[in-house]
Structure 1
Amino acid sequence: MSAVDPIIHRPVLAGLRTGRNRLYLTCLAFAALMVAVALAGPWLAPADPNASDLGAALTGPSPAHPLGADAAGRDTLSRLLAGASASLLGPIAVVLFSTVAGVLVGVTAGWFGGWPDTFLSRAAELLLAFPALLVAIVFVSLYGTGLAAPVIALSLAYLPYVSRLARNLTLSERRLPYLAAYRVQGFSGLAICVRHLIPNIAPVVLAQSSVNFGYALLDLSALSYLGLGVPPLTPTWGSMINDGQSALLQGHPLSAILPCAAIVLTVVAFNVVAEHWADRVSRRRG
């Protein structure tokens, strides 16, 4: 291999890096847009998402219905926008709760070690033995339909993934000299963890939480598809897929394809953002 080979490959590597950055920025913008739509979706909807126009049932895009109407004559665009709230705010709540609780559990286990580490690690392994979707179905059967029961169940199901990651990162950080220096200076364990340890492990945990968001979105959409999520009159992307099955078989796939596309694109966007953050953290720590 000649000495000029690295120079020849530099434009190729630069092009790949530029392409990845563009993909990351595109996915980041799309993810931010979806969060904004989730917060403002009901006010952005051009019509009542539950209002039926039977004369427009299973029609394609038109001035009155820009994305067509479903089998019940309901405006697809309005249902997509209004459904974003329940479809995305639920996973956001799952990620927030599981991340905060998981970091507390993981840092506590990794910092103290001994029997607290053993007890918390065994409890996390016990939760990992049950699939997240199964836990959510059990909670719904016990407490009824709605958003609260699935969110609590999935939060508990995803908590061990964050806690195990936080524990392993805490064990790695404890070996570093800067923590010993803070101990020598008289800082308490709580102060060291809150001011220094948790901020240092936060980027890696945030990347894992972004991945968990995609899985939580899929699980909550599956529950809505099965009719076990929010009440029937509340539009969600999962329930829209269920409602659009009959239209799909009749040759009108738009009302089913659009919510599927919204779920897939949102999951992909958050996963790409999480992978980019994880790569940046790994390069920085390396």
Structure 2
Amino acid sequence: MRQQSVTTDVLDIAYREYGAPDGWPCIMGHGFPYDVNAYAETAPIMARAGARVLVPWLRGYGPTRFRFPDTPRSGEQAALGADLLAFMDALGIERAVVGGYYWGGRAACVVSALHPERVVGLVSGNSYNIQNIARAMEPASPPEEAALWYQYLFHNERGRRALERNRRGFARQLWTMWSSKWAFDDATFERSAVSFDNPDFVDVVIHSYRHRYALVEGDPAYAGLEAKLAGQPPIRVPTIAIDGDSDGVNPGTISHARKFEGPFERRVFTDAGHNLPQERPAEWAQAVLDLYEAAERSR
């Protein structure tokens, strides 16, 4: 494993790299509130199978930094997708297997939908992860609304202050609620929690959870991308969608297969919660390898 960084127009993106530099490119994204350690066990499995695995810290996490103080600290979906595409460009990666869950999975879905020529295949935690902001104010069932308490808290200034004062406390609460069958220890949590000390973490998180409900404006630089995403574009690249049957925030009871117009498979990880690659590293790695091998056979 090597820790490196690459510069884009907006960010200095820090990332971990596993495997041989000439391996087949595989980019995996983490979610909120997690970090690259979600793939600490998964990535070596894929690397041993010939992959060059790249796991970047998202904007607002770990050593990744904004290059300029006046850049909006946006957490909107278009920004995450643009970051992933810029990361690929900066490293000279023409095509890759992409994947992730929650925020990282959303970035992978955005690139897969809007730039399918850059994607060999997609492994998506929680299926179709592109937000339908126009319908964000449509209410869900009471259990689903209860699971989203943290998002509603972040909509107001009390929530911002709460996150500023106790980043680790809120993150640990979410880990516990979202993955009730995952017996992580203090050391495992702390390895990821240091990434929340990033100076832009709170601003990016707060913007993300307000923008997805159309409560704040996005970064004008991504307005064109957001307009495309508002159309809920289909994903046509080969996809394996994964849910955990014990996910405390996304119950995985609804299939979004109709949003996938290419080869599609859905897998459910037994007794797994929200942090799929860290809770089930071998199974996540196998999904990536299965996807890549199928793509190779179809060439």
TM-score range, shorter chain: under 0.3
Structure with more helix by fraction: 1
Structure with more strand by fraction: 2
Larger radius of gyration between Structure 1 and Structure 2: 1
Q: TM-score, normalised by structure 1?
A: 0.22
